[in-house]
Every structure is written in structure tokens, then in C-alpha cells.
Chains A and B, each alone.
Chain A
């Protein structure tokens, strides 16, 4: 039920993001989802790729600081209210979202929401009890 994510430290200078995507594509690694958290001083790139271990190795070899972690992928219909429902479930259960990002599936009418929780196991239980569909890592990588 958990999906592997890699986070990469981005110094606040131009060309770093391009260097990462180039390193990945040179090694035939596909990016499934991506988000950048930006502050005035630095950025954090979060990636879900089809081969997490290989991507980690490649980026480390390129000198990047990489952290592996787990996130939860939730599938909702890509129409108004999809995200709101998930958030209200989490809110009622007092589950804190550290951060989230989203992307739309190419082949369907669905959107995928990526959530980072402090305690993913509790979040999984809550979401499942509410009948919300959680994707496995395999399903996400196959998108």
C-alpha cells in the first residue's frame, strides 16, 4: 500500500533540476510523478520513478543528496470534489498531511494524489475504512 519516493536536495541555483532529469533519462529511468518544494534558500525535489533503487544509485553517483521515503497514492475520479472528500476524511480523523501533490492518469478519468504522512499505517487504515482507493507501488509505477 506504500509507494517508494525519492527526495533530492536542490541548491538554489539554476540547472539543478535539469541535471537530475537528464541523469535519469540517460539511464532509462522514467519519472511517474514529480513535485518541487521551493523555499527562498533551497528546494526539495520529490520523485516517483519506475526504478527507485537504480534512480537512487544514479543520483548519488552524480553527487546529489538523496533520501528514500514512503508515500501513499490515492486514486480519485478526476472531477470536482475528488480531492476535497479525501481531505475531509483525513481532517476528521485528525491525520496531519506533511505535504501532497497530484497528477492525472493518462489512460483514465482518474487523478492520483500522493500524500506524505508522519504515520502512513494509520492513514492507510482510515482511508481504506472510508472506501477510498489506495494504489500499490506496482500500480503507480505501471501508470
Chain B
């Protein structure tokens, strides 16, 4: 079902006219109300009136995560706080989080795109939606919640954790839709096996999985184990949260971007040049309608390509392929963003640890596991087992402080971690995502 037939099937020309009108308004609001934006545009010699066509978008400066951080917490809000009805924050693990704000209308916009996303995934009124996304500062829980309510579905706001209880509730309530991260969905499936609960005792029909990258293999696995259709949803808190783009259940190929609200570009991450349609590069978004915290040309660091071909579902919105990677080396482990540099920071804090390490990520069953290999230098080495074990435990505890989950520390002989001439290969991700 198409939730908003009028907008979701707009002929491209009309859509582009609408986008241009909204873009002009966005640039004007940002320029006159937000000093950091004004400074950036002045530096580039641009005024709002220079935006005459959609092609002029590519003259505007990019917005990066660092820029958001520099203006923490509310520096980029275009409206005073008395018009901001909600804030969320990113899942950053060190330092300051990225804070995003919403006006009343922004919350409505978010519910609208999220309702569209759910409908796109085959959810409808009458469905019992088991929402296992985390509720709180993270945008997943509340974002999905408002959309499901707007759609008219019955929402079970269960949030994460207490997996056995979640399974009981899904059985008892006859839940038909599961919203979760894909790894949590697999965790649920594995827990069901442990509990001796048969998949057929659940009524699940659709799973809407997002907030972390996942592969086609994982789709097959989770579809088989839970007996549902697994659909990919994409979003990031900076842009609005979940509901930026969504796979349609008809094609299950490519995620329709709700382009009347979020304008995508694909750029060469090194040069910043906009790439021709269909080429792979970094995904960049401009929020056309957001009020409190709009973003112009925000670099997501996600790598994908756009698909312009019309889709069987009838939506005219362009599709983006499933995210294939990141321009930085950020890892998402059990839903938490981890940068190798954070691990490095911990290691460098331990006296005698060499700056040679490697992070190995595996998926064992439904769980992501992280192993950190550390070379044992002469300074660290001891003839006593307990000293080396204490060293491992200490590194493990400090990393746990940082990322919230336990990783395995493996001590290896010096010079066994591969040295590279250019950029060190810090991460081996065996999850095939």
C-alpha cells in the first residue's frame, strides 16, 4: 500500500519543482537564522538568491559531523528552544553526542515519512507492531512508534532487552510486525530455539530491520528463522531518524528515498564532486522541510548508489541500494558505533602497548563479536602468566567502558600484525556486510 499516493507517485518534473521551492526556502532560513551557516556560505561567496535551480545545490558547502560537533548542543537550530518540542542524540560513544531537535511540525513530518516507510514494507492498520527499537535518546524507538501510530497499527512499545519476555508477548499478542535491528532479530530467533519455541507459534509476517548494515545472507537467515519477510529501513538521527528511505515489499530491492523531504546526492568522497546517476559514492542528504534542525548537504559517510529506474511498486522516488560500506572505518557492533581510533586510544593509554593492533569482527550466531589483537612488546611481557592475563583483562575492561560490550583480547607475537605501507589495515570485518 502507498501511504501518501499524491506525493509518493509525483511525476519527476513536479517533484523537482517542489524540491526547488523547498530548497530555496531551506537555504534562506538557514542563511538568515544560523550564523555558522551564514559564515560558511559567505566564505563560499554564496547568497540564498544564488539558488536558482536544483543543480545549484552542488555549489553549497557540505555539512559534516565535525561541524555539528563544533556547534554542540543547539548551535545549528534555526529556531528558539520554545519552538523545539523534542531533542534526540546520536549513539556516539565518546565525547559529545550529536544533538538533533524537532518542532511540532518536524515530529509530524517524521511520523509521516515513517508511516510511509511502514506502508512501503507492507504494514497496515490492524497489524500488531512489536517495536523492539530502543526508546530514549536514540531515534529508533520513538521514531518508529509515531509512524506506526499514524498508520493506525497497534503499537507494542517494548523497546530492547528481556528477549524471552519479548517472545512471550509476541506469542500472546499475536504480533504481526517486528521492528528491530537485524542482529537483535537474529538474537530473538536464536533465543526461540533455546526456549524450544517454534517459529510457527508466532504470527509475524514482516520484519522491518535497520540501524545497522546487514547483508542479503542475513536477510535469508532471518526470514527463514522467523518466517517473515525482512525489509530494510534506513535513517540517521541527523537527517530525522528512521524513515529517510525504505525498501518496498514488492521489489525488496533498493530503498525508496522520501525525496519530497530528503534530497539525496552521491558524491566522490575524495573530491566532493557530484557523481552521475547510478555511480557508487558517498550519500549526501539535504533536509528540505525540517524546521528546527535542517541540514544542507550532510555527508553521511555511507556508501551506496542510486537507482533511477522506475519501480514495480509505482513509487516515483529514486531508490538507494543497501549500504555497502562507509567512507570512514566506523564499525557498528551490536548497534553501537565504534571507531578503531577509540580502541587505539585505549591501547595507547596502556604503557608498553605498541601502536600495532588489529580489530577482527565476526558474527557468531546472531551476535557480533569483536577481537582486538595486541602485540606483546618486551615492555609488556612477563614470565608470569598472571601478569599477561591482568594486562588482557585491563584492556578488555577499558574497551568495555568505551563500547559497552566485551571484546576478546588476543596477545600476539611482535611484528605478526600486518604492516601496511599506506593506511594500516586496522579492521578485518568478517561479517560480509
Contacts and interface: CB of A to CB of B under 8 A. Distances in A.
Interface in A72-92: none
A51 interface: no
B414 interface: yes
A78 B392 CA distance: 39
A44 interface: yes
A11 B416 contact: yes
Contact of B384 (A16, A65, A66, A99): A99
Contact of A41 (B381, B383, B410): B410
A41 B416 contact: no
B123 interface: no
Nearest to B380: A65
Contact of A65 (B376, B385, B392, B410): B376
B392 A7 contact: no
Contact of A42 (B384, B411, B414): B411
A37 interface: yes
B279 to A, nearest CB: 43
A63 B392 contact: no
Contacts of A130: none
B108 interface: no
Interface in A37-70: 37, 39, 41-42, 44, 46, 63-67, 69
Main secondary structure of the interface of A (DSSP, over half): strand
A41 B382 contact: no
A16 B414 CA distance: 13
A94 interface: no
A30 to B, nearest CB: 20
Contacts of A116: 383-384
B415 interface: yes
Interface string B231-253: 00000000000000000000000
B389 A9 contact: no
Interface string B113-133: 000000000000000000000
A16 B410 CA distance: 16
B205 to A, nearest CB: 44
B411 A37 contact: no
A41 B411 contact: yes
Given A11-B416, A41-B392, A41-B410, A67 B378 contact: yes
A65 B414 contact: yes
A65 B381 contact: yes
What is the interface residue range for chain A against chain B? Answer: 20 to 34
Contacts of B193: none
B383 A11 contact: no
B309 to A, nearest CB: 50
B412 A11 contact: yes
A63 B417 CA distance: 13
Contact of A9 (B392, B410, B411, B415): B411
A62 B410 CA distance: 21
Given A7-B383, A46-B383, A98-B384, A66 B378 contact: yes
Contact of B385 (A39, A63, A69): A39
A11 B384 contact: no
A52 to B, nearest CB: 13
A46 B410 CA distance: 21
B411 A44 contact: no
A7 B412 CA distance: 15
Contacts of A10: 413
A63 B376 CA distance: 11
Given A67-B383, A69-B383, A99-B384, A11 B411 contact: yes
Contacts of B416: 11
A67 B382 CA distance: 7
A44 B378 contact: no
Interface string A1-40: 0000101011100001000000000000000000001010
Interface string B41-65: 0000000000000000000000000
A69 B384 CA distance: 11
B163 interface: no
Interface of B: 376-378, 381-385, 388-389, 392, 410-416
Give 3 nearest A-B pairs by CB, closest first.
Answer: A7-B383, A11-B413, A65-B381
24 contacts: A5-B383, A7-B382, A9-B388, A9-B411, A9-B413, A10-B413, A11-B413, A11-B416, A37-B385, A42-B410, A42-B411, A46-B383, A63-B413, A65-B376, A65-B378, A65-B413, A65-B414, A66-B381, A67-B378, A67-B382, A67-B383, A98-B384, A99-B384, A116-B384
